Amino acid sequence: MSEAREKHLDELREIVAEVLEVEPEEITETGSFVEEHEADSLRAIEILARIEKKYKIDIPQSELPRMENLKAVHDVVATQAGWQD
Amino acid sequence: MTTLEHADIRRILPHRHPVLLVDRVLDLEPGVRIVATKTVTGSEPCYAGLDENLQGSAYAYPSSLLVESFGQTGAVLWLYSAATSGERREGTLIFGSARDVTITGSAYPGDVLRHTVEIDQLIGDNAFMRGETWVGDRRIATLGSVLAVVREELAAGTGS
Amino acid sequence: MSRRFAAPLTAVDTVDIADAPAGARVEAVKRITGDDPYLAGHYPDFTIYPGVFTLESVHQAIRHWATERHGPGAVAELATITSISFAAPLLPGDTLRIGCDLTEHDDTPTAVRAKVRCHRGDGALSARMTLELRIDRRDGDDHA
């Protein structure tokens, strides 16, 4: 796993944990936000908003349903931000 | 500089008496910022039914209504801005969520609440806003982030 | 009906308080009716219990706890809404059920944290919030 990917995952984990009000280590790569942390559509929008702000990118709202766990969030953001992780 | 009177506000917000909690818009910059006022008076329903001989602090304006008044001010900014840029928001306006709201003072009958609200981020039917509430030169609340949303088919998920 | 603080409505019907290791567990119930004050304007064509009224319900439940814990002169004032979010809406006929875990801070006994989850009668999550409250004493207050 590349260092860049590791760094990005940590940053995203931090954002997600803050919004879902859990400790960062509780957010695993494949753990479902909805099933494990009671996320709902408002939380999802908050996660999207914070990511857009941090990386100065636009993520189409149509990507929201895909962003169900940390790994999926990373994949979506990597595509939009042009990361080569 | 855009100002709005109560009649204009009623055309923008769906709220009605006695829960329409914005009186006048002093300044509005579409898509950016709003300054609006709401006067607290002793004749409002929240002051009905209070015991006699209470001390002054019992007459503090309820923080729930303070937050509502702030949220409505933000909604005026959002909905007015959307209308000026030709967008239409269909559906029900809802207070979605808020974070980092700090209440540092109180307002009493006779005080004028002055809300300053900025749009932080707009994502489709979701508006993130932040701002402050002042009484004269006293800041009584800081609102780090308030999320207002417009949702269709609200009744679809209801039951009892 | 009379009360000792300004409020938009009587926002709890019943309040149950139980001791818990770090503070207390407060449970409250409010039945939503369209006749309550303010609701005629929210909104004229259909009634929905405003999100801030759920906050008011929670605050009033905690006020009950504060007077039970600290005496009749104690008032729980809202200091910070760390987070609040609303899910399922509450309409007339619905029942709001509040479950509130209070933590008292060891070093500052006048500061209380509330972790709150609210459900509708059908079990749907309607709101959750994390609040910080301050216990003020009003017995010695000036009658200004």
pLDDT at residue C106, as a whole number = 78
CA gap C131, C126 in Å, rounded:
16
pLDDT at residue B159, as a whole number = 33
Closest CA of chain A from C123, distance in Å: 14
* Chain B stretch 89-128, residues whose beta carbon is closer than 8 A to a beta carbon of chain A: 96-97, 121, 123-124, 126, 128
Q: What was the ipTM of the complex prediction? A: 0.94
pLDDT tens-digit map of C117-140: 999 999 999 999 999 999 998 765
CA gap C107, C96 in Å, rounded:
33
Residue B89 has pLDDT above 80, yes or no: no
Closest CA of chain B from A63, distance in Å: 13
Place B158 in a pLDDT band, splitting at 50, 70 and 90.
very low
Of all residues in chain B, what percent are helix, strand and coil, respectively (each to 5)?
25, 40, 35
What is the DSSP-derived secondary structure letter of residue A9? H
Of all residues in chain C, what percent are helix, strand and coil, respectively (each to 5)?
15, 45, 40
Burial class (CB in 10 A: 0-12, 13-18, 19+), B112: middle
The residue in chain C having the minimum alpha-carbon distance to the alpha carbon of residue A21 is C83
What percentage of chain A exceeds 70 in pLDDT?
99
The mean pLDDT of A11-26, rounded to a whole number, is 96
Show the domains of chain B with their CATH numbers.
2-49+57-152 (3.10.129.10)
Cβ-based interface (< 8 Å): residues of A facing B: 42, 45-46, 48-49, 52-53, 61
The residue in chain C having the minimum alpha-carbon distance to the alpha carbon of residue A40 is C87
Is C42 designated active site? yes
Show the domains of chain A with their CATH numbers.
3-81 (1.10.1200.10)
Q: Does B71 touch chain C (CB under 8 A)?
A: yes
Residue A23 has pLDDT above 70, yes or no: yes
Cβ contact B92:B158 at 8 Å: no
Residue B132 has pLDDT above 50, yes or no: yes
pTM across the whole model: 0.93
Q: Does C87 touch chain A (CB under 8 A)?
A: yes
Q: Which residues of A touch B97 (CB under 8 A)?
A: 42, 46
**Is domain C14-108+122-137 in CATH 3.40.630.10, yes or no?**
no
